[in-house]
């Protein structure tokens, strides 16, 4: 009895199907990216697009000053307790002198950006192009869009001195554990990693302690370094204290723009 063999499609086959994948931004790009080797010209073009996204992110965020990134779901509307808690957090962080960085979308992200604006602070949105849910919110002072999740995650991590995970779904968990892994492996300094919403995160913490620590797939210290709190004021105060004492963050002069490089300045709103 003969066995059927799996054959890779010829390079460039999916370029001919582009018209079927124009309904949602990035659909064709992601499908082609996961199909293995493509034509060399296509691969070079993809590398250039990725590089340009990194350059865009670095240029636009280079001058924002000390920042805190807030992760959370896009699905909580205004008036929901998680939304209002995140708005209070954004306000407290701005009053503590931090720029608030989010994914730039609705829900928790909007709330944190909105809270920063309430306090006269600055906020940044690093949005991902998706077919649904992820639309920019109106409370950001600078808004960037990315095609690639991994580029966006670098931008959300690179300029921040602390990370707050508010209640969220797969995306929030992905971002939370990305940061946790970087800290665990020493690729990222021991910046504060905060879970805001004690009741929401309690089952996850229990699973990590009672299953993963017991099975020794992680160490207890990997969980002990996390901060769990329901108080936006307490979170902001703790982040400010750690930033000042452990990392030497100050409110001194920001880096200067180089006009001949056409570098954008920091967002114009709020504190410096």
List pLDDT tens digits, range 125-163.
Answer: 999 887 665 678 999 999 999 999 999 999 999 999 999
The pLDDT confidence band at residue 32, using thresholds 50, 70 and 90, is: low
Tell me the β-bridge partners of 128. Answer: 146
Contact assessment for residue 133 and residue 106, using Cβ atoms and an 8 Å cutoff: yes
- Residue 220: C-alpha distances to residues 182, 211, 228 (Å): 16, 11, 15
Cα–Cα dist 20/28, whole Å: 8
Find where tokens 């808004």 sit: 143
Q: For the segment 202-252, what is each residue's pLDDT rounded down to a tens digit?
A: 999 999 999 999 999 999 999 999 999 999 999 999 999 988 888 777 654
Domain ranges of the chain: 13-54, 66-248
In this structure, whether the domain defined by 66-248 belongs to CATH 3.40.190.80 is answered with no
Mean residue pLDDT across the chain: 85
According to the model, what pLDDT value does residue 131 have? 66
Radius of gyration of the chain (CA): 21
Q: For the segment 160-186, what is each residue's pLDDT rounded down to a tens digit?
A: 999 999 999 999 999 999 999 999 999
Express as a percent the part of the chain with pLDDT over 90.
Answer: 66
The DSSP H or E segment spanning 142 is strand 142-146
Cα–Cα dist 61/81, whole Å: 30
The pLDDT confidence band at residue 38, using thresholds 50, 70 and 90, is: confident
Residue 257: pLDDT over 80: no
According to the model, what pLDDT value does residue 16 have? 40
For residues 106-130, average pLDDT: 95
Express as a percent the part of the chain with pLDDT over 70.
Answer: 77
According to the model, what pLDDT value does residue 268 have? 52
Find where tokens 């993963």 sit: 212
Contact assessment for residue 24 and residue 30, using Cβ atoms and an 8 Å cutoff: no
According to the model, what pLDDT value does residue 98 have? 96
According to the model, what pLDDT value does residue 256 have? 66
């Amino acid at each position: 009895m003969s066995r059927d063999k799996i054959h890779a499609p010829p390079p460039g086959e999916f370029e001919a199907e582009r018209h079927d994948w124009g309904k949602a931004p990035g659909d064709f790009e992601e499908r082609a990216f996961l199909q293995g080797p493509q034509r060399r010209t296509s691969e070079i073009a993809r590398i250039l697009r990725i590089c340009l996204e990194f350059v865009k992110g670095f240029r636009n965020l280079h001058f924002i000053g000390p920042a805190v990134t807030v992760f959370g779901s896009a699905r909580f509307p205004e008036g929901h307790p998680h939304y209002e808690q995140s708005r209070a957090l954004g306000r407290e962080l701005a009053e503590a002198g931090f720029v608030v960085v989010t994914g730039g979308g609705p829900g928790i992200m909007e709330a944190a950006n909105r809270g920063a604006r309430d306090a006269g602070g600055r906020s940044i949105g690093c949005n991902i192009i998706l077919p649904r849910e992820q639309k920019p919110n109106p409370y950001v002072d600078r808004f960037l869009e990315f095609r690639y999740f991994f580029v966006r995650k670098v931008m959300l991590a690179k300029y921040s001195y602390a990370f707050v995970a508010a209640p969220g779904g797969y995306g929030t968990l992905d971002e939370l554990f990305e940061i946790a892994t970087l800290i665990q492996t020493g690729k990222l300094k021991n910046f504060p990693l905060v879970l805001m919403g004690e009741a929401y995160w309690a089952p996850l913490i229990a699973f990590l302690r009672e299953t993963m620590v017991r099975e020794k797939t992680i160490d207890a210290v990997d969980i002990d370094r996390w901060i769990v709190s329901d108080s936006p004021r307490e979170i902001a105060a703790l982040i400010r204290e750690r930033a000042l004492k452990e990392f030497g963050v100050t409110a001194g002069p920001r880096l200067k723009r180089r006009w001949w490089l056409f570098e954008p300045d920091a967002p114009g709103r709020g504190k410096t």
